[in-house]
Amino acid sequence: MTLKLDKATGIFMALAAGSGLACYALEGGDAAWQATIEAASLLVMVLPQIAAGLLIGGFAQALISKDTAAEYLGAESGLRGLLVATVAGIVTPGGPFTSFPLVYALWTSGADVGALVAYLVSWALIGLHRIVVWELPFMGPEFALLRFVVCLPLPLLAGIFARLIVEHTSLKLKGGSSE
């Protein structure tokens, strides 16, 4: 396996180095060292979540055949694919360490951009785990239900718009079935 550095990673590394230098220049060595220790502590805390999410994505990629991904979430899946992705987003628990490796696995297995956008919008806006853990206790059932109903069509609309943008522009995405 060859380690390959893409542009985004290079940009993030440059931003990290630049912000470290700025911290050192503006606040001094002690502040820069303390920030480094806090960042390392955060890394130790989230590393198990990242590893688990990557494992989930890897297992999903191994378990979901390209034919299955194309049938249920591919470019030809139509509205049904967007609905499947929306429901999957609603029921997917966890944070971005879970959902993004899964999205990547689906993308490389043949899911199209519309289904993936619908999944992510659904997961972000109407995920059941957020409603149960945060919204119901803090805002109450009436607000939670109202917001859920108002947001329910948004994943479908986002998926449709994503498909239209890719279809009618020169936007080319690396990965799934939109190539």
Higher pLDDT, 121 or 72: 121
Neighbouring residues of 52: CB distance < 8 A, sequence distance ≥ 6: 97, 98
Model pTM score: 0.75
29-63 helix and 7-27 helix, angle to the nearest 10 degrees: 160
At 20-66, the pLDDT tens digits run 999 999 999 999 999 999 999 998 988 888 888 788 878 877 887 78
- Alpha carbon 157 to its chain's center: 18
At 134-174, the pLDDT tens digits run 999 999 999 999 999 999 999 999 999 999 999 999 887 76
Residue 179 has pLDDT above 50, yes or no: no
Domain boundary assignment for the chain: 8-63, 65-173
Mean pLDDT within 80-84: 96
